[in-house]
Amino acid sequence: MRVARLARLKIADGEIANYQAGLAEILTLVAQMDDCDTDGVAPLAQPQDIALRLRDDQVTETNERERLQSSAPQVEDGLYLVPRVVE
Amino acid sequence: MLHQHSLTALRDMLRRKEVSSEELTRHFLDRIGQFSSLNAFIAVDEEGAIESARKADQAIASGQLADLTGLPIAHKDIFCTRRLTTTCGSKMLAGFTAPYDATVVERLDSAGVVVTGKTNMDEFAMGSSNETSFFGSVQNPWDITRVPGGSSGGSAAAVAARLVPGATGTDTGGSIRQPAAFCGLTGLKPSYGRVSRYGMIAFASSLDQGGPLTRSAEDAALFFSAMAGFDSRDSTSIAQEAPSVDDLLSKPLKGLRLGLPTEFLDDSVDAEVLARVREALDALESLGAQLVDVSLPNSSAGIPCYYVIAPAEASSNLSRFDGVRFGHRSRDAADLQSLYENSRAEGFGDEVKRRILIGTYVLSAGYYDAYYLKAQKIRRIISEDFSKAFERCDVIVGPTSPTTAFALGEKTKDPVSMYLNDIFTNTVNLAGLPGLSIPVGFDTAGLPVGMQLIGRFMDEASLLSVGHRYQQETDWHVRCPEGFG
């Protein structure tokens, strides 16, 4: 499934058919959108429909690297560890 | 019995020193233990709760009272807490302790609450029955073979079973209102931007909103007033202070126009649900409200529109779970790609995966216009339908859910039939409006029926005032499920 790769989600071979069936059913439901005429309608991204508030570009948080990294599965010398990327 | 008192009554008893917070907290903790088979809680914090209760008792003794001093509550396990684990109902976050408290948690703490624990929920709030939780399903106290609704099912079951007098919830498409309806409670989804989303684990950011589940509208006003208000840490927070309890409950019912959308009152709704809603409308009319017909002509497009927008935003929000910075990490990872793919495959459950896949699909190149953009246009049409209806009425009224609570396992094999549960609630999230569910009676099986009130943007006061007035004349909201008295 291409979409599973895009979503970085491993779907086992035995489960693919089941997910495909589920997605097909949801897309059938979603296709009911076609009954609604949207010609000339502007999209609405969020209910307030206003530009989000901006703040001054100033440091407002303290550095809490250790505390934030304490929930990471694997950390060393303040860095997150992942499998080797570059040989 | 202490647990039969409302949040408001308990507050007054604490202030009059008729009961201590420690006594109250121990009583509710005992009940949480006694009824643990409901599976309403994911974590219970006896030690922390007793400690907070003792502090509250000292505050009461020295006259330093905040709005909710000494009242035991529970948080849906979607709100980050430094003291307790925050799992969001997922294996992905099993054992995770957040490095900070959510704004809602902070605000309620400074209002003086005693946190008894964290409640069960559908995984990442994706579900309408609490059955997608990694920590198991939750029983409905009114009939333990039935679901409590979802996604805030643990909070609803806990309040209905009198394990706490109030609990927090979140609502993306009906996740406060539908479980409130299924469990005979009062549940408020505030206007989008009213309650800070900081530290509330994101599902669909343009729809998510936190709110209270309580037994009465009066209690909901007390709870909501302490949760709401501007927060600079949430970029969509609205710059308005939280309304006072008095303001929230004092709008007169006389002359208020209640709009009945024909689309919400047709034969797609269970006949008994419809009958209870009509009886409640008659009662409100006899109390001085004026009933008017309105139309929400595009509401049937709500479900398909929602099931594009919510999964799209979810697929983006949940991309943060990568097995690197926090959460579950697969042991089976030869390279970075398989670390991501396997960690996510092992950490997420079926429904979450389904929504991530749908969301990824509708946002992918070549499909964006047909799905996501189309859904956003429908979203505007739905929002404008509400605006037009509010030219003719002040509050829109209908059933919260087309049926009463369904059986555990009844809809788990059929995701689409589960989605249709939210047919009356999710358009309210798409438009960002406030919605309230109140209990209006029972069906012949003895299951509670909920009625939904929808208000203008930022007008929670009209909803809570109508609810409060109705509850002064009726006793549905004080009925207690058998075995929990």
ipTM of this complex: 0.95
Q: What is the pLDDT of residue A54?
A: 86
| CA dist., res. B454 & res. B259, Å (int) | 9
Q: Cα separation of B29 and B39, whole Å?
A: 14
pLDDT tens profile B142-165:
999 999 999 999 999 999 999 999
Residue B151 falls in the annotated catalytic set? yes
Task: List the single best residue of B357, B360, B412 to mutate versus A (max A Cβ within 10 A).
Answer: B357
Candidate list B6, B90, B151, B437, residue with the active-site label? B151
User: Which pairing describes strands B257-261 and B290-294: parallel, antiparallel, or unpaired?
Assistant: parallel
Average pLDDT over residues A43-48: 90
Query: Mean pLDDT throughout B430-452?
Result: 98
Instruction: List pLDDT tens digits, range B150-204.
Output: 999 999 999 999 999 999 999 999 999 999 999 999 999 999 999 999 999 999 9
pLDDT score, position A53? 83
Catalytic member of B6, B21, B76, B465: B76
CB contact under 8 A, A9 and B356: yes
Query: Is a pLDDT exceeding 90 seen at residue B3?
Result: yes
Taking alpha carbons only, the member of B472, B124, B143, B151 closest to residue B284 is: B472
pLDDT above 90 (res A86): no
3-state secondary structure of B201: coil
Quick check: bond before B462 cis, omega within 30? no
Distance, in angstroms, between A27 CA and closest chain B CA?
8
Interface test with B, best of A3, A20, A23 (most B CBs within 10 A): A3
| Average pLDDT value over all residues in chain B | 97
Q: Is the predicted pLDDT of residue A9 greater than 80, yes or no?
A: yes
Distance from CA of B127 to the nearest CA of A (A): 14
Residues of A in contact with B98 (CB under 8 A): 71
Minimal-distance CA residue of chain B relative to A74 = B324
pTM: 0.97
In this prediction, residue A87 carries a pLDDT of 72
Please write the tens of the pLDDT for every residue from B52-62: 999 999 999 99
Q: Closest residue of B to A6, CA-based?
A: B360
Chain B residue at shortest CA distance from A66: B99
Catalytic member of B21, B152, B175, B237:
B175
B437 is catalytic: no
Checking if the pLDDT of B245 tops 90, the result is yes
**Residue A85: per-residue pLDDT:** 81
Q: How far apart are CA B242 and CA B248, in angstroms?
A: 10
Partners of B169 in the beta sheet? B211
Confidence label for A30 from pLDDT (cuts 50, 70 and 90): very high
pLDDT at B294 over 90: yes
> With an 8 Å Cβ cutoff, are A3 and B305 in contact?
no
Over range B30-45, report the average pLDDT: 98
B96-148 confidence digits (pLDDT tens) = 999 999 999 999 999 999 999 999 999 999 999 999 999 999 999 999 999 99
pLDDT over 90 (residue A55)? no
Query: Edge-to-edge strands of the sheet including B290-294?
Result: B41-44, B114-119, B72-76, B166-171, B209-214, B186-189, B435-442, B448-455, B395-399, B257-261, B290-294
Q: How far is A84 from chain B (nearest CA, A)?
A: 7
The first and second tokens of residue B471, run together, are 């509850």
* One-letter identity of residue B456: R
Determine, for residues A3 and B360 on separate chains, whether the beta-carbon distance falls below 8 Å.
yes
- Give the per-residue pLDDT at A52: 80
**Per-residue pLDDT tens over the stretch B304-331:** 999 999 999 999 999 999 999 999 999 9
Average pLDDT over residues B245-274: 96
Q: In the annotation, is B268 catalytic?
A: no
